[in-house]
Amino acid sequence: MTRGLGAVAQKSLVLAGLSLVGACGTAEKPGSRAAGGLATRPSILLVTLDTTRADAIGPEARGIETPAFDALAARGRRFRQAYATVPETLPSHSSMMTGLYPAGHGVHENARYLSRDRPVLAERLREAGYRTAAFVSSFVLARRFGLARGFDVYDDELPPGHAERTAQDTTDRALAHLDHRSPQPLLLWVHYFDPHAPYTPPEPFRRRYANAPYLGEVAAMDEQLGRLVRAFEERAGEPRAIVVVGDHGEGLGDHGESQHGNLVYQATMHVPLLLMGPGLTPGVSDSPVSTRRVFHTILDWAGLGAADSLGGGGQEVVLGEAMKPFLSYGWQPQVMAVEGRTKAILAGRLEVYDVVADSAESRDLAASASLSRPARTALRDYPVPALEAQRPPDDLSEEERRKLASLGYVSTGAQPAVRKDAPRPVDMRRLFDLLDTASTLFVEEKYARVIPLLEKILADDPHNLDAALRLATAHSVLGHEEPALAAFAKAADIVPGSQDVRTYLALHYVRGRQWEKAAPLLERIVTEEPDRLPVLEALAQVRERQGRLEEALTLRQKVYGMRAPTAAELVRLGEMAMNSERTPLAIEAFEKARGQQGNAFAHDLELGVLYLAARRFAEARDALDRVPSSHPEYPMALFKRAQVSVLLHEPDQAARIERATERADATTRELIARERLFRQTP
Ligand SMILES: [Zn+2]
């Protein structure tokens, strides 16, 4: 079922190039605006609406009023069959920013990183003379995940302790940016996150939509969309172009899914898409289109090539995927293809729906409908991601993990058991909410509460490696030695030989009294995969306890090259380096800790001693002068300071020696008596 990396790379080339399948694919328009001068290129506003169902916004939406979107729709071109590439934020945006399906850009889930070698929209426009600015509203799109490339301004600042900000905050900031006028055209991307769970709309929408808080969030966001569009149209100059697009929808209970990410039905894949710009006739289009073509459309407006632009029409087989259940739990990979009014879903077996007559996808036509050859080929050849390439970055800090968890996105990153008879995600929907809750509790370190939930998941889905490893780790952290080992044994049964299981087991041993058992496990994993951060950290700890300080130091240096150390870790590194007489390394570590801690830094005595050893006397003097008289080893500071005083030929050296002698303790009294420097003083 899984394919090798080579196969995926090859397939991804196919998919990257695969764009318009069918009779009337768009070709490069002759005499396109590429030849046009700077002045004719429009400023472009791209607004992405997180978690917004196609049926929750616009003139046909029921139970909600969205006047700002409706007003734009009246002037623009609305695509009533637009589809996200993935029902998750980062992969979906990665498609809009690269024009590629996930197999092409490599991001199948949140908390991954868009590779630097994929050209992105903002880079292309900036090279062509555009000013570029982005204002995003969720940690899922923070700079560290790779979408900031090419933006002069990338505002991902969130209120302290929060993983998201409101459309109002984001709009305020975008509007402030619009005050900077310039003759250059502008690409402005604004991302709104409000409709994402939990649904807590502000007043008056909270009261107005008391029975439908999700719609209340959409309505509140629509109000900000109106403010943003008005300001853009007033200040951005002429010509102008606007895109408003959803990144994915929300289950709201359809097909048993409350949020998004696990399934590819209309609730989460069918999204709003609205364009207003040069060459577009107002109206509606009912051809299925992929939101990845936002990329091509904006390039077209900027005069950088019209191929695949939504302005050009053309039929395509629209593809989409939801690989999270496959990558996290080993369930069936899930792919969809939409052509005309027919949507096919392949996940273990084929489902076919007429999404125009049956938008609820309640009547499966697989037995009677026949798919076109391009649709069949696209589904059959869709590249399933290689599991080994899909581990989440393990340099996420605890804070970052908690932020992702607060938005419902976290996995252990362990490679699941993949089986031919793996369950179809839709058949496992009874577990979706339980899995999300367990995942959040685990990252919040509520281990006692998560254990019964994980047991329930495993009883229902006994091959779920993610749950087995979390159960083992929860027991391990709580010191339940036997249940932890039993859960590790169970995990090893699910995926025999799994490196992930060995890793988590080694981390378990490091935590407890049997830490020496971790050493051989960790050594073997490091040989297999030299850059696995938690493994390197654990091995550094083991080496330190074994008294193998040189190796511990080397490992720690490697770890801190991969992720930023905390001040406490820098202090520990400094102490270890000092004990191993690695003076320059020790100085560097302590100075970095001092830079982070400021006045709270309590190791100036060590620094003074190190600078003295390095014969950097002026720096030694400054460090020793910072040691407070309340320091438990203050007599030592006075002694060292007197030594430095002599070496610097300070006029008050005699007084300093006298003071050190007066305040001496047992240790320094002897040192002072033996100090030859002090005998030569005038
Ligand atoms: Zn999203």
3-state secondary structure 541-566: HHHHHCCCHHHHHHHHHHHHHHCCCC
Confidence of residue 36 (pLDDT cuts 50, 70, 90): very low
pLDDT average, residue stretch 523-546: 90
Computed on alpha carbons and rounded to an integer, the radius of gyration of the chain in Å comes to: 30
Q: What is the pLDDT of residue 26?
A: 39
Helix %, strand %, coil % of the chain (to 5): 50, 10, 40
Q: What is the pLDDT of residue 11?
A: 43
Reduce the secondary structure of 242-299 to three states and give it as a string: EEEEECCCCCCCHHHCCCCCCCCCHHHHEECEEEECCCCCCEEECCCEEHHHHHHHHH
pLDDT average, residue stretch 507-533: 90
Q: Classify each residue of 324-337 as buried b or exposed e, where b means 16 or more C-beta atoms within 10 Å of its C-beta.
A: bbbbbbbbbbbbbb
Ligand 1 center from residue 72 Cα (angstroms): 22
- % of the chain beyond a pLDDT of 90: 74
Q: What is the pLDDT of residue 391?
A: 63
Average pLDDT over all residues of the chain: 89
Ligand 1 center from residue 139 Cα (angstroms): 11
Ligand 1 center from residue 566 Cα (angstroms): 31
Cα–Cα dist 362/629, whole Å: 78
Ligand 1 center from residue 429 Cα (angstroms): 20
Q: What is the pLDDT of residue 29?
A: 39
Among 19-33, 189-203, 343-357, 382-396, which stretch is predicted with the lowest mean pLDDT? 19-33
Helix (H) or strand (E) run with residue 353 in it: strand 349-354
Ligand 1 center from residue 225 Cα (angstroms): 17
CA distances (Å), origin 19, targets 26, 102, 495, 637: 10, 13, 38, 71
| pLDDT tens string 97-149 | 999 999 999 999 988 888 888 899 999 999 999 999 999 999 999 998 999 99
Ligand 1 center from residue 559 Cα (angstroms): 32
Answer with the residue of higher pLDDT: 413 or 437: 437
End-to-end CA distance of the chain: 85
Confidence of residue 14 (pLDDT cuts 50, 70, 90): very low
pLDDT average, residue stretch 478-506: 91
Q: What is the pLDDT of residue 24?
A: 35
**Could you give the dihedral angle defined by the CA atoms of residues 588, 591, 593 and 595, in that order, rounded to the nearest 10 degrees?**
-130
Helix axes 499-511, 465-477, angle to 10 degrees: 10
Q: What is the pLDDT of residue 395?
A: 65
Ligand 1 center from residue 23 Cα (angstroms): 33
Ligand 1 center from residue 61 Cα (angstroms): 20
In this predicted structure, the answer to whether residue 21 has a pLDDT above a threshold of 50 is no
Ligand 1 center from residue 88 Cα (angstroms): 5
pTM of the model: 0.81
Ligand 1 center from residue 12 Cα (angstroms): 23
Ligand 1 center from residue 409 Cα (angstroms): 11
Ligand 1 center from residue 199 Cα (angstroms): 14
pLDDT average, residue stretch 86-103: 96
Tokens of 326: 């496959």
Ligand 1 center from residue 453 Cα (angstroms): 26
Ligand 1 center from residue 85 Cα (angstroms): 11
Among residues 489, 495, 334, the alpha carbon closest in space to that of 415 is found at: 495
Ligand 1 center from residue 385 Cα (angstroms): 21
In this predicted structure, the answer to whether residue 639 has a pLDDT above a threshold of 50 is yes
Ligand 1 center from residue 198 Cα (angstroms): 13
pLDDT average, residue stretch 640-647: 96
pLDDT average, residue stretch 369-386: 89
Ligand 1 center from residue 194 Cα (angstroms): 10
Ligand 1 center from residue 91 Cα (angstroms): 9
Q: What is the pLDDT of residue 409?
A: 64
In this predicted structure, the answer to whether residue 27 has a pLDDT above a threshold of 90 is no
Cα–Cα dist 524/509, whole Å: 15
pLDDT average, residue stretch 27-53: 70
Ligand 1 center from residue 262 Cα (angstroms): 13
Ligand 1 center from residue 322 Cα (angstroms): 13
Q: What is the pLDDT of residue 13?
A: 37
Three-state DSSP state, 189? strand
Burial of residue 600 (CB within 10 Å: 0-12, 13-18, 19+) is exposed
Ligand 1 center from residue 86 Cα (angstroms): 9
- % of the chain beyond a pLDDT of 70: 91
Ligand 1 center from residue 270 Cα (angstroms): 13
Ligand 1 center from residue 296 Cα (angstroms): 21
Ligand 1 center from residue 555 Cα (angstroms): 38
pLDDT average, residue stretch 472-478: 94
Ligand 1 center from residue 247 Cα (angstroms): 5
Among 116-120, 407-411, 672-676, which stretch is predicted with the lowest mean pLDDT? 407-411
Confidence of residue 4 (pLDDT cuts 50, 70, 90): very low
In this predicted structure, the answer to whether residue 171 has a pLDDT above a threshold of 70 is yes
**Could you give the dihedral angle defined by the CA atoms of residues 169, 172, 175 and 179, in that order, rounded to the nearest 10 degrees?**
-130
Ligand 1 center from residue 89 Cα (angstroms): 3
Residues 6+ apart with CB under 8 A from 488: 472, 501, 504, 505, 508
Among residues 7, 664, 663, 29, the alpha carbon closest in space to that of 309 is found at: 29
In this predicted structure, the answer to whether residue 400 has a pLDDT above a threshold of 90 is no
**Is the separation of the CB atoms in 338 and 318 below 8 Å?**
yes
Q: What is the pLDDT of residue 540?
A: 95
| pLDDT tens string 509-519 | 998 889 999 99
Ligand 1 center from residue 50 Cα (angstroms): 4
Ligand 1 center from residue 315 Cα (angstroms): 26
| pLDDT tens string 294-323 | 999 999 999 999 899 998 877 889 999 999
Answer with the residue of higher pLDDT: 511 or 255: 255
Ligand 1 center from residue 513 Cα (angstroms): 44
Q: What is the pLDDT of residue 399?
A: 73
| pLDDT tens string 194-243 | 999 999 999 999 999 999 999 999 999 999 999 999 999 999 888 999 99
Among residues 41, 64, 44, the alpha carbon closest in space to that of 52 is found at: 64
